Amino acid sequence: MFGTRILSQFRMWMPTMPITLVSARNATETAPAMATFRVLPKMTKHEIKEYLTKIYNLPVTQVDTINYMGKRKRAIGKRKSVYYKYRDFKKAHVTFGPGLTDVGKGTKMEESEPEPEPE
């Protein structure tokens, strides 16, 4: 009972929903930067936008989502067949604002000249 009081001004929201990056595209002169994420089916467009904006400080302008049903499979044994199904998932196509041009997908950095050793 002692020490279990939680102060209301110190509450924090920690996300428990995983977001996995599937693919990304850098911005060009005609198209903005885009990324595709794999998320849980219960996540909404608003939650995805708030997640990326508040945690990663990304300028999200648009979120499009597509629901996918998990594949159904059959394992054939000696006496009977067993049916199983993969998890359902959702893909989110996120368009970023003009402030983000590089999504960081392995662009090469220019190598600087090595410093000469002192004699």
For the chain (119 residues), the mean pLDDT of every run of 10, in chain order, is 55 74 87 92 92 90 95 92 93 90 61 67
What is the residue extent of each domain of the chain? Answer: 16-96
In angstroms, rounded to a whole number, what is the distance separating the alpha carbons of residues 65 and 41?
A: 10
In angstroms, rounded to a whole number, what is the distance separating the alpha carbons of residues 64 and 95?
A: 8
The confidence score (pLDDT) of residue 86 equals 92
The confidence score (pLDDT) of residue 65 equals 97
Per the document, the length of the chain is: 119
The confidence score (pLDDT) of residue 100 equals 76
Choosing among 3.30.70.330, 2.40.128.260, 3.40.50.2300, 1.20.1530.20, the CATH entry for 16-96 is 3.30.70.330
The confidence score (pLDDT) of residue 17 equals 83
In angstroms, rounded to a whole number, what is the distance separating the alpha carbons of residues 76 and 7?
A: 56
The confidence score (pLDDT) of residue 118 equals 72
The confidence score (pLDDT) of residue 66 equals 97
